[in-house]
Amino acid sequence: MKRCLYCGKPLSDGQKKYCTEDCRMRAHAFQHFADRKIYSFLFLFIVGTLGIVVGSVLIAMHPGIGTGIIGLSIIVWGVNFFILPFGIPDSLHFFGILASIRITRILSLLLVVSGIVLSVVGFNG
Ligand SMILES: [Zn+2]
């Protein structure tokens, strides 16, 4: 059974990709948003990744500071995924764009919370 690419509702006969005009427009708006923001997303993703690498190296010398920097980097990742919730393409097809955005946002909040805990523990330790 085919499902709406945006909201994930089952499609009736004659509907190709989206269940309503509204879903089609929202899907296109999200695609447009994603196309415009992909470089900011990649930039913050790389900043977070570099922070985690730097933090991991620092852990050997200064365990507290290293852990704190890893925590801050995870917060950067989480905020990045929350503002720019680009799910992996496979999940978009399986759940629909809307559900994929929600799942990505919930996971990103978990990232932010873990990041805050790590940085607080790290910098205080
Ligand atoms: Zn729909």
Distance 96 CA to ligand 1 centre (A): 8
What percentage of the chain exceeds 70 in pLDDT? 94
* Residues 72, 121 contacting (CB under 8 angstroms): no
Q: How many CA atoms lie within 13 A of 33 on its CB side?
A: 12
Degrees to nearest 5, angle at CA 68 with 63 and 72: 150
Average pLDDT of the residues in 16-35: 93
For residues 94 and 69, give the distance between their C-alpha atoms in angstroms, rounded to a whole number: 35
Burial classification of residue 35, based on how many CB atoms lie within 10 Å of its CB (0-12 exposed, 13-18 middle, 19 or more buried):
exposed
pTM for this predicted structure: 0.84
Average pLDDT of the residues in 55-62: 95
Query: Which residues have CB under 8 Å from 21's CB, separation 6+?
Result: none
Count of C-beta atoms within a 10 Å radius of residue 125: 11
Q: How many CA atoms lie within 13 A of 106 on its CB side?
A: 5
Q: 89 vs 64, 68, 97, CA distance in Å? A: 37, 32, 9
Distance 30 CA to ligand 1 centre (A): 14
Distance 85 CA to ligand 1 centre (A): 19
Distance 119 CA to ligand 1 centre (A): 40
Tens digits of residue pLDDT in 96-105: 889 889 989 9
Determine the length of the chain: 125
Q: Where are the domains of the chain?
A: 37-124
